[in-house]
């Protein structure tokens, strides 16, 4: 603190206000006052009753109980509760009673018992033993009485919070009065007189502004004062915030409309009502808060006769008794006389520059050496200076910086600058001057050598701009996103700025969705991962060695390996093993035999599909990193692999790699492979065809089970296989999933459910499910097993058996799929653009993270077809599936010809295309309209039926006698192939398309 005034009597502030010369105090009541009938300090830390501290004749006969249950429970005894003591009271008041735990707690007065002594049992009625009082017993001259308490409640919204009631269940004429807080008001209701004649209760609104404004969970004094002098009834309500600056209670309102009858006889209950109103907490009127210092007096007390102690100086040392009690009373056991004897006018207990008299008059703390006249809050700032800039002295201290200019208030006081920011934060200590705050320069650079136009971090923003923006001028990546493209401007400067370019030119080069290095990771994803968007480094391979970080960590627990390494010493290096899905630490596992069983993958029983004419989508999932290609006619690339998803997981032998979305399962980092980066919105909605024109479809995959299906896993969330979900209802299409034991709808099950939910845009949602086979069933689900799973729908709505589930164990003896359910789906799937995902759902979470429903295992070979495939159209041709050695798989022949009589060169439907060609091109051999034929478009392109994995020879002739080869091995594409002659001859020409062997 700098130079300050040190007055002896009072501090006159620059605003013209005079600092208060005195303070009041609040202290517990003494029970010796003659007019006190009941006084409950509620400091009872043991036992089940609240002691009455009043010293009058009634004190030996009256006590309060704490009860759990409505205080008046029929005619039986209430149950004593010993756990309601010890609530945090206002400082100096010991402890309080905690009635906040339930609506049904209160303090009924225990009046009678054997020998007219309280017996610790509350009895609602029963002659001489009834715990009731006559209202006249708490009245004095002019029928006057006062009921008061300290209360601390959390809010004003609950209907009724009782302070005190003389209420009963014995008819309206004996119900007495209700004194309570009700819906933001203090209410007095003389219900015993007026309940039958239409007169309502009197209410006074509790203030919400000013010194006595309600504050949640703070202490307030509340009182009811009644008198009937000369037959003029008057009731006054008080509501006053409890603090040391208050000298008397504040009147909330006065009424003459609420009378009382001294002859009323009923229970008197503090903190609740006293009658049995039925069951349910809404029928009871518990305080639901803290209560303390309850006093009932036989006199109409005045505003200065309550808890607030007025000023006085009984020891004549010119120090107010209340001031001495506040500052020098060390514990409740000290008497007032003992406290007043500790200090005098010239005392100086804190050893600062001011004696007690000076500190009293200034309002500073005599026990704190930092608190002195002129700086009574001891914060190092002159009080007049604080009042000038902040209006009060408590808002700031010397180390504050409210205008965020990096200059402390103490520095601003010395420099004479404005610390409040009311001048636009342009006023700050600047000793050079260079337009930069000295505090900011020292904070950011440890010196004052920088200039306003400097750009030491090369983020294209000057120091002055960074000071204004609040960014760090020493950190290039602490910058704005001024073009709102999702990229930090400093990050864009780091990777894309060229010398001499303007900031605008640099920022215009890229957007958040750009991918300048073509690694399928957007600039936003690269920025989030701190990888270089212009090199081979990418979020999934941060050391840019060609090996995915997750693959290296899984197999080697580090990132120290290289693509050319060969840890297991077999025939393949790490890069080759990663691409094939084989184990780089196991010599028997090679790219040609990933399971290391000695059988080449090409000779295994099952092989991946080749897309046929009904294949809309086919994902082999052999890419090991995004994006995953689609071999079907729909050609939808799965472009976004979310957190913890692994595309490099070893699949079934012969299928290379697959998707393992399970790391992070049950959390928002569960893996998901999606068509677009997932966001909570519509920008991740994908356009795809997932059914035929008639609504028919088949969804299928092969899956490995990595959990014990007989018990509930750690998280019982569903396990999504393939979903068309969305954040918005209109695009919610379907979920195809497993529900484990213990999951929703399967809490009592003994096996997982296979479930398909037709979400139907959240209208008429239909769920179809079946328990999967267990025990000795040939297709029983088991941990570690590989299975083919499918759902097929024939497109005819609301007809019997239009919907089927298939679940089949993959072993070499199986030649067709195993149907496990046949039922009826009511409606076709809606046509929409969903969040399309494999291995998880794609809704209700933000970009770059997964959902909680990831599949616990591996998903591979996902196919969507536009027909309801039959059991023989599943699984995978190979091995001994050609028992008659005619190059036509038995399963294919059985599907289309109901037997094996056909041969490769046959032409069953005489459409000019032999059976082998129809098989190889995925055509229908028993339908004449499906054949190998070429057509010419209006634009000159030649088109013909095609699949991936085959090649075609394209020839041209001008006279049909000689042919020239244009393409010897033109690669097939899914669905339809197309070729345009780049140099067509003048006049006519003939073209010939041949399927290569």
In the chain, domain spans: 34-308, 409-469, 480-538, 545-600, 615-873, 935-995
Give the Cα separation of 52 and 64 in Å (integer).
Answer: 7
Span 444-469, average pLDDT: 91
Q: Per-residue DSSP letters for 364-395?
A: --TT-TT-BTTBTT-SSS-HHHHHHHHSSSSS
DSSP annotation of 506 reads H
Sorted by sequence, the CB contacts under 8 Å of residue 596 that are 6+ apart come out as 582, 583, 586, 588, 589, 590
Average pLDDT, the chain: 85
* Of 852, 542, 902, residue with least CA distance to 716: 852
Q: Which residues of 537-562 are buried (b: 16+ CB within 10 A; e: fewer)?
A: bbbbbeeebebbbbbbeebbeeeebe
In this prediction, residue 951 has a pLDDT band, given cuts at 50, 70 and 90, of: confident
Distance CA 451, CA 433 (A): 10
| Whole-angstrom distance, CA of residue 609 vs CA of residue 991 | 30
- Rounded alpha-carbon distances, angstroms, from residue 743 to 715, 717, 755: 8, 6, 12
CA angle at 935 for the pair 929 and 939, rounded to the nearest 5°:
140
Per-residue pLDDT band for 115 (boundaries 50, 70, 90) equals very low
Q: Is the pLDDT of residue 695 over 70?
A: yes
Question: Would you state the pLDDT for residue 199?
Answer: 55
Q: Could you tell me which of 515, 696, 630 has the C-alpha nearest to residue 863?
A: 630
Closest CA to 336 of 345, 323, 347: 323
Percent of the chain with pLDDT over 90: 48
828-832 long-range contacts (CB < 8 A, ≥24 apart) are 828/691, 828/695, 828/795, 828/797, 829/690, 829/691, 829/695, 829/697, 829/724, 829/733, 829/734, 829/758, 829/760, 830/733, 830/760, 830/761, 832/724, 832/726, 832/730, 832/731, 832/732, 832/733, 832/761
DSSP single-letter state for residue 568: T
- Binned at pLDDT 50, 70 and 90, residue 59 comes out as low
Determine which of 310-319, 347-356, 429-438, 480-489 has the lowest per-residue pLDDT on average.
Answer: 310-319
Contact between 460 and 490 under an 8 Å Cβ cutoff? The reply is yes
pTM (2 d.p.)? 0.54
pLDDT computed for residue 879 by the predictor: 42
Going by the DSSP 8-state scheme, the letter that residue 784 receives in this structure is T
pLDDT given for residue 419 in this prediction: 86
For strands 25-26 and 734-739, give the pairing.
unpaired
pLDDT band at 244 (very low <50, low <70, confident <90, very high): low
Q: For residues 407 and 402, what is the distance between their CA atoms, to the nearest angstrom?
A: 9
Q: Which pLDDT belongs to residue 245?
A: 64
If you average pLDDT over residues 227-242, what whole number do you get? 91
User: What average pLDDT does this structure show over 59-87?
Assistant: 59
Determine the Cα–Cα distance for residues 381 and 389; give it in Å rounded to an integer. Answer: 11
Return the pLDDT at 58.
Answer: 52
Q: Six-digit token pair at 106?
A: 């209160």
- Give 193's pLDDT tier (boundaries 50, 70, 90): low
Question: Which pLDDT band, with edges at 50, 70 and 90, does 95 fall under?
Answer: confident
Instruction: For residue 319, give the DSSP letter.
Output: S
Among 154-163, 167-176, 234-243, 404-413, name the one with the lowest average pLDDT: 167-176
Mind listing the pLDDT tens digit for each residue in 255-298?
988 888 888 888 888 888 877 665 444 446 888 888 999 999 99
Q: Was domain 615-873 assigned CATH 3.40.50.880?
A: no
920 phi and psi angles, rounded to 5 deg: -65, -30
* φ/ψ (deg, to 5) at 537: -65, 135
- Collect all residues with Cβ–Cβ distance below 8 Å to 551 and sequence separation of at least 6: 578, 624, 646, 648
Q: Give strand pairing partners of 957.
A: 990
- Digit-coded pLDDT (tens) for 905-941: 999 988 899 999 988 888 889 876 788 999 998 888 9
Q: Is the dihedral of CA 439, 445, 450, 453 positive or negative?
A: negative
Q: Highest mean pLDDT range out of 276-285, 632-641, 795-804?
A: 795-804
Q: What is the pLDDT of residues 395-443, one digit of tens each?
A: 889 888 888 888 888 888 888 888 876 544 467 888 788 888 888 888 8
Q: Are 861 and 790 in contact (CB under 8 A)?
A: no
For position 950, what pLDDT does the model report? 79
Nearest to 239 by CA among 250, 248, 247: 250
Give the mean pLDDT of 329-346. 89
> Which of 3.40.50.300, 3.30.499.10, 1.10.1740.10, 2.60.120.200 is the CATH number of 34-308?
2.60.120.200
Query: What value, to the nearest 5°, has the Cα angle with vertex 522 and ends 516 and 527?
Result: 100
Task: Using CB atoms within 10 Å of the CB of residue 373, give its burial: 0 to 12 exposed, 13 to 18 middle, 19+ buried.
Answer: buried
- What local confidence, expressed as pLDDT, does residue 1 receive? 32
Residue pair 698/683 in contact (Cβ under 8 Å)? The answer is no
pLDDT tens per residue, range 361-372: 777 899 999 998
pLDDT reading at 903 higher than 60: yes
Q: What pLDDT does residue 979 have?
A: 93
Point out the least confidently predicted range of 18-27, 348-357, 457-466, 549-558.
18-27
Per the DSSP assignment, residues forming a β-bridge with 976 are 945
């Amino acid at each position: 603190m700098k130079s300050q005034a040190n007055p002896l009597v009072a501090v006159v502030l620059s605003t013209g206000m005079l600092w208060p010369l005195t303070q009041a105090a609040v202290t517990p009541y003494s029970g010796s006052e003659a007019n006190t009938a009941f006084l409950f300090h509620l400091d009872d830390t043991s036992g089940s009753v609240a002691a009455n501290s009043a010293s009058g004749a009634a004190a030996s006969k009256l006590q309060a109980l704490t009860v759990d249950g409505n205080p008046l429970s029929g005619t039986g005894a209430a149950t004593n509760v010993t756990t309601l003591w010890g609530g945090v009271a206002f400082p100096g008041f010991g402890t309080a009673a905690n009635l906040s735990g339930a609506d049904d707690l209160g303090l009924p007065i225990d009046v009678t018992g054997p020998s007219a002594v309280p017996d610790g049992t509350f009895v609602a009625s029963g002659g001489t033993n009834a715990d009731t009082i006559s209202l006249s017993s708490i009245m004095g001259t002019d029928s006057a009485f006062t009921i008061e308490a300290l209360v601390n409640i959390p809010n004003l919204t609950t209907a009724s919070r009782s302070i005190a009631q003389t209420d009963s269940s014995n008819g309206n004429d004996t119900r007495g009065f209700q004194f309570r807080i009700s819906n933001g008001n203090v209410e007095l209701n003389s219900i015993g007189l007026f309940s039958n004649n239409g007169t309502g209760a009197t209410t006074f609104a509790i203030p919400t502004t000013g010194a006595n404004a309600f504050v949640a969970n703070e202490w307030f004094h509340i009182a009811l004062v009644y008198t009937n002098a000369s037959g003029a009834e008057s009731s006054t309500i008080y509501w006053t915030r409890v603090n040391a600056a208050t000298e008397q209670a504040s009147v909330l309102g006065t009424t003459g409309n609420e009378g009382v009858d001294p002859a009323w006889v009923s229970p008197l209950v503090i903190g609740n009502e006293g009658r049995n109103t039925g069951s349910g907490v809404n029928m009871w009127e518990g305080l639901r808060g803290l209560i303390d210092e309850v006093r009932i007096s036989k006199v109409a007390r005045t505003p200065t006769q309550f808890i607030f102690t007025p000023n006085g100086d009984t020891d004549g040392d010119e120090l107010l008794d209340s001031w001495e009690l506040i500052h020098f009373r060390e514990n409740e056991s000290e008497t007032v006389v003992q406290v007043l004897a500790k200090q005098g006018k010239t005392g100086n207990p804190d050893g600062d520059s001011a004696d007690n008299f000076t500190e009293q008059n200034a309002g500073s703390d005599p026990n704190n050496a930092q608190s002195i006249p002129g700086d009574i809050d001891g914060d190092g700032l002159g009080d007049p200076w604080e009042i000038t800039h902040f209006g009060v002295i408590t808002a700031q201290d010397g180390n504050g910086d409210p205008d965020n200019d990096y200059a402390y208030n103490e520095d601003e006081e010395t420099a004479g600058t404005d610390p409040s920011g009311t001048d636009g934060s342009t006023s700050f200590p600047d000793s050079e001057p260079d337009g930069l705050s000295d505090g900011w320069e020292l904070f950011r650079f440890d010196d004052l050598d920088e200039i306003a136009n400097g750009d030491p971090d090369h983020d294209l923003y000057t120091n002055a701009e960074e000071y204004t923006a609040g960014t760090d001028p020493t950190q290039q990546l602490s910058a704005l996103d001024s073009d709102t493209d999702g990229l930090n401007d400093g990050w864009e400067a780091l990777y894309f700025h060229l010398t001499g370019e303007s900031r605008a030119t640099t920022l215009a080069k890229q957007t958040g969705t750009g991918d300048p290095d073509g690694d399928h990771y957007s600039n936003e994803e690269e920025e989030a991962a701190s990888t270089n968007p212009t090199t081979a480094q990418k979020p999934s391979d941060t050391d840019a060695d060609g090996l995915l970080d997750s693959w290296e960590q899984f197999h080697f627990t580090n990132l120290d390996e290289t693509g050319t390494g060969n840890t297991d010493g077999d025939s393949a290096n790490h890069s080759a093993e990663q691409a094939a899905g084989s184990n780089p630490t196991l010599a028997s596992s090679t790219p040609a035999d990933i399971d290391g069983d000695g059988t080449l993958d090409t000779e295994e029983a099952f092989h991946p599909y080749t897309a046929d004419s009904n294949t809309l989508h086919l994902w082999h999932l052999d890419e090991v990193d995004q994006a995953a290609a689609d071999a079907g006619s729909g050609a939808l690339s799965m472009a976004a692999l979310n957190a913890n998803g692994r595309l490099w997981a070893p699949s079934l032998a012969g299928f290379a790699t697959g998707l393992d979305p399970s790391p992070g399962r049950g959390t928002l980092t569960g893996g998901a492979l999606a068509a677009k980066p997932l966001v909570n919105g519509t920008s991740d909605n994908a356009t795809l065809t997932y059914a035929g024109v008639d609504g028919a479809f088949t969804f299928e995959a092969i899956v490995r089970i990595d959990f014990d299906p007989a018990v509930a896993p750690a998280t019982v969330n569903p396990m999504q296989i393939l979903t068309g979900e969305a954040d918005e209802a209109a695009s919610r299409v379907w979920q195809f999933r497993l529900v484990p034991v213990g999951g929703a709808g399967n809490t009592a099950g003994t096996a997982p459910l296979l479930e398909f939910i037709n979400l139907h845009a959240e209208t008429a949602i239909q769920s179809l499910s079946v328990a999967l086979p267990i025990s000795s069933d040939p297709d029983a689900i088991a941990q570690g097993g590989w299975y083919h799973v499918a759902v097929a729908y024939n497109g005819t709505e609301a007809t019997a058996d239009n919907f089927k589930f298939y679940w089949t164990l993959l072993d070499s003896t199986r030649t067709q799929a195993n149907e496990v359910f046949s039922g009826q789906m009511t409606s076709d799937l809606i046509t929409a653009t969903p969040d399309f995902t494999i291995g998880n759902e794609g809704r209700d979470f933000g970009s770059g993270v997964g959902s909680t429903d990831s599949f616990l295992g591996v998903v591979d070979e996902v196919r969507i077809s536009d027909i309801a495939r039959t059991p023989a159209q599943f699984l995978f041709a190979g091995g001994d599936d050609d028992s008659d050695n005619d190059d036509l798989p038995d399963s294919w022949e059985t599907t289309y010809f109901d037997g094996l009589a056909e041969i490769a060169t046959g032409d069953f439907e005489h459409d000019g295309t032999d059976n082998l060609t129809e098989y190889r091109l995925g055509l229908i051999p028993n339908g004449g309209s499906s054949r190998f034929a070429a057509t010419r478009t209006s634009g000159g392109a030649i088109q013909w039926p095609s699949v991936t994995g085959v090649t075609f020879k394209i020839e041209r002739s001008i006279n049909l006698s000689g042919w020239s080869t244009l393409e010897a091995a033109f690669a097939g594409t899914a669905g339809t192939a197309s070729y345009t002659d780049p140099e067509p001859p003048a006049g006519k020409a003939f073209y010939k398309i041949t399927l290569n062997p």
